[in-house]
Every structure is written in C-alpha cells, then in structure tokens.
Structure 1
Amino acid sequence: MDLAADPAVEAILADALARESRALGAVVPVLRHLLASEANGLVSDAILARVRGMIGDLAAQLLAAADGHDPATRLAPSETRDPLAERLIANEALLTHCHALAAESLLAERLQQRHAIDPVLSPLLQELIAAEDPAIASLAMGTLAAQSRFVQGARRMELPLGELPAELFHDVIAHAGAGGAQAQAGYDEAASRIGLLARLVAAMRRGALAALALDHAGLALFATALAAVARQPRAQAVLACHEGQGLRLALMLRAAGQSLPAAERQLTLIDPTAHLPRGFADLDEARASALLGQSL
C-alpha cells in the first residue's frame, strides 16, 4: 500500500494516536487533583502512592539541606515536609517525571511476574558487563548498581535529589534556600541512573539496536535505547510500554527502524490482545516519526 496515495490510512493512525495522547495528557492533572485530595481510588493506588511518596521524599531532603544537614538524612518533621510537598506538586514537569518513574518501577515488577524479565540484571546488561571494551564494561557495572538502587528506592517510595534531571534539579533545590549550594556541590547528572543508561546506550553505538528487544534488554535499557534511536523523550518511551499505549510503542519502534514483526513481538509482551491498524506495515520511519511529533 502506498500511504502517499492513501492518506486515509495515516488519518486513522493519527486519530488512534491522538486518543492515546489524550489519555496520557489527562494523567498529570488527575494526579495533581488526587494528590491534593483523599480521592485516591480513582486511579491506580500503587502509582499514586509512589508519586506521593517520591514528592514527600524530595521535600524531606530539601528541608534537611535547608537546615544544613546532608539531604540523605531526610531530617524533616511532617508539619514542615507536607506543605513543601504540596508546593512541589504544583511543578508539572516534576510531577510528570515522578509519574514516569513510578510507572517504570511498577511495570518492571509486572514484567518480572509475567515474563520473568529481571528488573535489574537483564541478559543484555550481563553481556555488556562482560564486554572486552573496559569503558563499556565499567559503564555497565555502574548502570547495574544504579538500577539496583532505583528498584530498591522505588519500593521505599524514595527519589534521591541527585537522580533528578539537571533542569528539574535546579528548579527543586531553589526550595532549599542557602542549603541548596551544598546539594548542588555533589550533583552530577551523568552519574545518575538515567544519565548512566544514556551513556551506556550511546557507547553501544549501532549495538544499541540489540536493546530494542524488551525481554533481552530489560525495561530500563529498552526504554532508553528506544528513546535514543527513535529520538523521543525517555519518559514517553516508558509510558508507551503500558497497556493502552500500543500504537505509540509500535510507532516508536517503527521510527527506530524496526519491522512490523519485531514491533509486534514487543507489543505482545506488554499486551497480548493489542493489534495494530491495517496498513501499519507500510508506514516508513519518517512518517512514524512525524506522527509521534504531532502527538507530543
């Protein structure tokens, strides 16, 4: 099928992607409303609890820094922590980031339960640790340690300040007042989990295509590689791995150069009942990227 000669196919894909985008776009406003209220049952209790916990944990670290303590001590009474947490919830970018992390941690647990995909040490990461290139092996070891900390921290509903992306980190530490300088002194975005994952994928060069197999790479490396190769935000790649976002995932995989059978294999791991619209196989990489760009 020539999509240039049949714009109806692209219109169908764009409409389906728009529906998925509206579902994603509704998440943060709903989260903000629920975090400010007691109506927790309207969304996933697990997602809501982890987002609330991470925001509260950030507030505790900021208050500890403001009092001249190491942020990791998290020394802050609830009467001062909770009001600061409420102010942090107003930061949409921070709330979006926390939602993606909570969703990633819970999805990793689900993939382990359903498909025995280890959330920390995937087969690909084992191969990279054993790589002959010492730089790649070292990066892989660092990534393994960071991923292990992430999984453990997510269960405790913690989010260390140093794990925030640079833009968010600088926005957030403004709440620590003079104590923010101490937190800033030890900050290194490249040493964060997401930074290490991105560096590892970049170091793999063309080998990063091997990370586009979810069961081989594990969710963390898969989402990072997919975002890099498809030129999409990592948070979008993570959220595309959830049920109800199958078209977004398939489009990202197509934009990354994956064939229809390869995309369908990954989609089946997420949602065995999902199916792609007719004509999807004829969508080229450029058109897939354009549709994704229109949906953001």
Structure 2
Amino acid sequence: MAQSANSLHGTSASVESILSEELARGDRSLRGVAPVLAHLLASSGQPLVSDAIVARVRGMLDHLARQLLAAERAEVLGSPAHGPPAPAEAVDALAAHLAQDHVVLGHSHVLALESHLAERLERRASLDPVLSPLLQELIASDRPAIAELAMTTLAAQSRFIQSQRRMDMPLSELPAELFLAVIACWETAARAGERGGVPRGAIERLKRSHDEGESRAGLLARLVSAMGSGVLAALELEHAGLALFASALASVTRQPRENAVIACHESQAARLALAFRAAGMDAQAIERQFMLLEPGVRVPGVIGELAPDRAQAILARSDARVVDIER
C-alpha cells in the first residue's frame, strides 16, 4: 500500500486525476486475480503452505465439491446418513471445474482475503473478528428487532470465522447468483463426466433450502439497513469490526460488498480513499482508518478537497467488480 499511497500525494488540482489513475491501476490488478488464482490452483507444484490465500481458496472449493457430491449421493441412496464419502478423485475433479469459473473463484478469494485481514487486525489492533464494540452495542439495543438481528449476525460471523479456519465454504452462505453459478458448474461437470448429469431431485432440494437473507452477508446487509442514519458509526473500522465495516462502506458508497473488502488490501489504497471520501469522511478521519489498516501510510490532506460526489463518480467509473456476476 505504501507505494500506492505515496502516489496519492498532489495538489488539490491534480488529486482527482491522480486518484483516477490509481483506481485504474487497481482495476487492472483486480482483473488479473482470477486468472492467477486459477493457474496456482491448477499447479501441482504449488505448495499449499506458501500462500495462505491460495490454500484457503483451494480448501473452500474442495468443500463446495464435497457438499455437492454429498447431495447427489443422498438423492441416489435416499438418505444422507448412509454410504461412503465421495472418492477423492471425484472431489478433486469437481473442485477443479469450479476453479475454472471466475465468479466462483473471485468470491472464494474475497472470503479468504476478508478472513486474512480480520486475523491481521486482531493481531495488530486486538480487534475481535467476531464481536466488535458496535455489534455489542446493537445486541444491547432497546429495539428488540435490532437486538435479535444483531445476535443472529453475531452467530453468523462466528460461523464464518470457524469455517475459514477449516477452509470451508457452506453452500448456504453463497449469494443467490453465486449459488446458481455453482449449481450450473456442477451440472456442466456432471454432463461432461460419466454420470450423465445431476439428479434433479438433488438440485431442487438444495434450491429449496437456500435462503440468501439468512446468510452472513444477507444478515449484515439487513443490520446495516436497520441502522438507518446510524450506519455512519459503522465506518469506524476499530469500532465496527471488519465485517460490519465492509457492509456499511458498500451500502453508503453503493458498491458491491466484495469491492469494499478488496479495497482494504494494500494494493487498493486509491479505491479505499475514494470510498471514504464518497462516504463524506474528511481527511483526518480517512487518515485514522488508514493508520489502523497500514500504520506506515499517511493520506495527504488534499483528499479532503475532493467533493464526495466526485469521489463517488470516480468509483462509479471503475470497471472492476471483484465478483463479476453479470460477466
């Protein structure tokens, strides 16, 4: 981030063009993520322990494959409690097929990055990855609906952290569009193999059980919405915690949540600075947030001279969506 942040310095007259150029560089970096991940996952010589992000992505894709094959076996046998697990070669083949889909791969990458950032913030700033001060306040709200929603969100965040430690990705946690993309990959892989296709009953059962609104991302979005104007409190990373912070930043700046998460990466300093300014934060507030993420980075005061609507417009011109559902 230091190199990118250093290039943010400039006069008030040039700050918009500088940030636009940096954002374009960040866009190019994001477009290269999925192909690079696909290459690393396909390489048998890539040590799993050499890159925590790659290892987690690989583990999540394997977990998706195991869940899909278990659903298929349950449909064929009539009960999920009987029969051996899917052969390792079948899991590997389906996981490799999932890895070829950049939508699935991109979402896996963002989840792995979010958990990695949460762990780093816990080490650096003692920020609990599950229960943040703001979430604790919401749980204690005198409005029963918000308190209940906050408790449910807490449980979902706890499950997310535990799943990431196991390198798992439950099907129930997928956004609706991504869930359908995974099902489509499964069907394509089955048709290409010897099985001839996926049993329709298995697909329908999974679709009936999927509820995006009860996923962690769905619950976070609902909680942010319920906060109303109080959502600005969630833009304080140390107070809100990374999960709630990312959802709030996405909501306020009208970006996909995945982009808000990726903006916290060291290579995306311009994207994060623009998002903060689009949310109406002044230069001092922006610098405080950068100090938490990257203590060595100083944000130039001229960022405060960029109008929030101009910052929003620059973000809107960005052609990168981390998880490009629409493709």
TM over 0.5: yes
Q: Percent identity?
A: 56
In the alignment, structure 2 segments of 5+ residues that lack a partner are: 1-10, 188-197, 321-327
Q: 2:30 aligns with which of 24, 27, 30?
A: 24
Structure 1 distance, partners of 2:47, 2:298, is: 30
Q: Is the 8 A contact 1:14 1:291 kept in 2?
A: yes
Structure 2 distance, partners of 1:23, 1:70, is: 43
Change (3 A) 1:78 1:42: closer
The answer to whether structure 1 residue 239 and structure 2 residue 249 are counterparts is: no
Structure 2 distance, partners of 1:258, 1:217, is: 16
The answer to whether structure 1 residue 34 and structure 2 residue 40 are counterparts is: yes
Q: Is the 8 A contact 2:104 2:181 kept in 1?
A: no
Tell me what 2:161 maps to. Answer: 151
Deviation string for 1:34-75 (max 9, x for gaps)?
A: 11113536996100000000011001101111112559x993
| Structure of higher CA gyration radius | 2
Q: 2:292 aligns with which of 265, 269, 274?
A: 269
The amino acid that maps onto 2:264 is: C
Give the CA RMSD over aligned residues: 2.1
Q: What's the TM-score, normalizing by structure 2?
A: 0.84
Tell me what 2:175 maps to. Answer: 165
Identify the range of structure 1 (250-259 vs 21-30) with the bigger mean alpha-carbon deviation. 21-30
- How many residue pairs match? The answer is 291
State the structure with bigger RCO (CA 8 A, min sep 6), 1 or 2: 2
The amino acid that maps onto 2:275 is: M
Change (3 A) 1:108 1:40: same
Q: Is the 8 A contact 1:246 1:274 kept in 2?
A: no
Structure 1 distance, partners of 2:256, 2:80, is: 32
The Cα of 1:237 is off from its aligned counterpart by 0.5
In the alignment, structure 1 segments of 5+ residues that lack a partner are: none
Q: What's the TM-score, normalizing by structure 1?
A: 0.93
After superposition, where does 1:3-152 map in structure 2 within 5 Å?
8-40=14-46, 45-67=51-73, 68=75, 70=80, 75-152=85-162
Q: Is the 8 A contact 1:173 1:183 kept in 2?
A: no
Q: What secondary structure is seen at the aligned counterpart in 1 of 2:255?
A: coil
